[in-house]
Amino acid sequence: MNWNNFVSDLLPVLDNLDRAKQSLSEASEPKVLYQGILMMHQQLKQALEALGVKRMETVGKPFDPAIHEAVSQLAMPSAPENSIIAEQLAGYQLHDKIIRVAQVIVATSPE
């Protein structure tokens, strides 16, 4: 891993956070703040993806206790039993290694 490149990729995100912090104190328009947050989110996502970090896709997938943590179950007749119907917290992997399991809501059969 090249830490210099990683830090260099994160610095624009920090710069934009500083700008957002400053504009909050100036009572900026909410739409402009929202657009700035979207931009910072994209920058951070790209920096992490360049390192091989990616968000796991969960909704609609079968529940797998090795990579998912079920935080709740919900009877859902329209979804296959043991499928993931919602995500509470995203899971991430670095290349093929899970670095954080996803917290999910799992469908159960109606009783």
Nearest-angstrom CA–CA distance, 69 and 63 = 9
What does DSSP say about strands 92-94 and 97-100: parallel, antiparallel, or unpaired? Answer: antiparallel
CB 43 within 8 A of CB 67: no
Task: Check the CA dihedral 45-59-92-34 and report its sign.
Answer: positive
pLDDT tens-digit series, residues 33-75: 788 888 888 988 888 898 889 999 999 999 999 999 999 999 9
Distances (CA, A) of 31 to 23, 39, 45: 12, 12, 21
Q: CATH homologous superfamily of domain 55-108?
A: Head domain of nucleotide exchange factor GrpE (2.30.22.10)
**pTM, to two decimals:** 0.75
Residue in 57, 66, 65 with CA at minimum distance from that of residue 106: 65
